[in-house]
Amino acid sequence: MTLCRWTRYNRDMETLVCAATLMELRAFCAPPDEAALCNGHVQHSTNGFLLTGVGIPCALATVLEAAREARPARILNIGIAGAYPGSGLGLGDIVMGESEVYGDVGFELPEPPHFQPARGAAF
């Protein structure tokens, strides 16, 4: 996977659209120049596009750097949002979280209760 880095900015940016992967960004819109986006450039006019990489640490570091430089009016983070098989969520569904589980430190079981946070596991 290529982690795209923020290298240009536009201080008049209205919205910075962020996704972990190019596949997730493509499901939302067609970025103006995918090659430039994945070679370290964020496309911008009034909207910017940023690939953050997978996981909270990558997203946090990348988005903070971009926001500090561009000062967008709003940031829209898009992606699978935990739409794992059996979740009832499909491509294009819009969700608003009521709670958050740091899924990067857990595991999925085939039978209920399915997802288990690592901190509660009896290892």
Sequential pLDDT tens for the chain (123 residues): 333 444 455 566 788 888 888 888 888 887 766 666 665 556 556 778 888 888 788 888 888 888 888 888 999 888 876 677 777 887 777 877 776 666 566 666 777 777 666 666 665
pLDDT at 6: 45
pLDDT at 1: 33
| Residue 66: HSE in the Cβ half-sphere, 13 Å Cα cutoff | 32
Tokens at 7, concatenated? 């290298």
Question: What are the backbone dihedrals phi and psi of residue 74, each rounded to the nearest 5 degrees, phi first?
Answer: -150, 155
pLDDT at 40: 54
Q: Rounded to whole angstroms, how far apart are CA atoms 21 and 54?
A: 7
Regarding pTM above 0.95, the answer is no
pLDDT at 7: 46
pLDDT at 11: 63
Quick check: bond before 113 cis, omega within 30?
yes
Cβ-contact 8, 41 below 8 angstroms: yes
